[in-house]
Amino acid sequence: MKISLPFEGRALVGAVHLQPLPGSPLWEAAGRPSLEAIVARAVSDAEAYLTAGCQGVIVENFGDAPFFKRAPLETVACLTRCARAVVEAAGSAPVGVNVLRNDGHAALAIALAVGASFVRVNVLSGAAVTDQGLIEGEAATLLRLRAGLGAGAGGANPIALLADVHVKHAEPLAGGSLTTAAQDTAKRGLADALIVSGSGTGYAPSPERLREVRAAAPETPLWLGSGLTVENCAELGPLLDGAVVGSAAEVEGKAGNPVDPARAKAVVEAFLYSGSA
């Protein structure tokens, strides 16, 4: 049984790209900023997205490159602190968690602890060759963990699972078709929604890729995971049930910069008025 996403109608979610967290190489390079400063920036970005009209936000450890396949304990702890502050600031707006590179287990645990309502998992089914090496999907253990935490369908704290299909910054190991990957992720991996992205951060997929995934799993919500801009909303928006926006809403359109309220509002307006899926 699938979990319904915590949104009404087509949704646009802002990506809260956390600054480098304590222990990561870029945190050291940035002069070891305090965790409180990182939390304050996360809250500011979340509030800017929501004020602009996003229906929710998703918190991820974007600044922690190079990433582990599974995040170390200090990263999980600091990300939990940031996510809790964002949940408190967001009020009734849904908040999600994405632990890079592919730590769905940590994401679920964090989401349950802080009161978030969805998570994103980059590789749920199959296997992918990435800059972290080979990543294998762990749908079997992840879905069992969700059920055991009371966060599955019918549980006290349902947490929706959004999963990428042929995720960005990666190549499928077996070179399988997008159609097969979408079907496996939705029907065998039991994802509550499918995410399609371009080749990397800030790059959008083609309309043809979106249509192929929609046709492969028409009963599963389809989301855009990267590359949404004011300019492509009219073309891509009608094909989608939702989207995550990051780079286009940040200062100078650069991922990792603070959210620019004017840019965020422009993307929101372009997406929400781009037609229905």
Residue 249 is given by DSSP the state G
3-state helix, strand and coil shares in percent for the chain, rounded to the nearest 5: 40, 20, 40
Taking only the tens place, the pLDDT of each residue in 179-191 is: 999 999 999 999 9
255 within some domain: yes
In the structure encoding, which two tokens stand for residue 25, read together? Answer: 């190489």
Structural element, H or E, at residue 59? strand 56-60
Rounded to whole angstroms, the Cα distance separating 78 from 84 reads: 10
**Strand, coil or helix: 15:** strand
Taking only the tens place, the pLDDT of each residue in 23-46 is: 999 999 999 999 999 999 999 999
Is the pLDDT reported for residue 19 higher than 50?
Answer: yes
Pairing type for strands 95-98 and 118-121 reads parallel
Structural element, H or E, at residue 73? helix 73-90
CB atoms within 10 A of CB 122: 24
pTM: 0.95
Is the pLDDT reported for residue 257 higher than 50?
Answer: yes
CATH code for the domain of 152: 3.20.20.390
DSSP H helices in the chain:
25-29, 35-52, 73-90, 104-114, 139-148, 178-183, 207-216, 233-236, 261-272
150 within some domain: yes
Rounded to whole angstroms, the Cα distance separating 15 from 241 reads: 17
User: What is the domain extent for residue 188?
Assistant: 11-272
In the structure encoding, which two tokens stand for residue 98, read together? Answer: 């994405």
Q: How many domains does the chain have?
A: 1
Is the pLDDT reported for residue 65 higher than 50?
Answer: yes
pLDDT at 171: 86
Cβ-proximal residues to 132 (8 Å cutoff; 6+ apart), any chain? 66, 67, 68, 69, 101, 102
**Strand, coil or helix: 121:** strand
262 within some domain: yes
Rounded to whole angstroms, the Cα distance separating 129 from 52 reads: 36
104 within some domain: yes
Cβ-proximal residues to 41 (8 Å cutoff; 6+ apart), any chain? 18, 19, 258
3 within some domain: no
Q: How confident is the model at residue 277 (pLDDT cuts 50, 70, 90)?
A: very low
Rounded to whole angstroms, the Cα distance separating 106 from 177 reads: 29
6 within some domain: no
Mean pLDDT check: name the lowest of 16-25, 87-96, 150-159, 196-205: 196-205
206 within some domain: yes
Rounded to whole angstroms, the Cα distance separating 188 from 165 reads: 13
Structural element, H or E, at residue 136? strand 133-136
Tally the residues of the chain.
277
177 within some domain: yes
Contact 27, 21 (CB under 8 A): yes
Nearest-CA neighbor of 124 among 163, 174, 158? 163
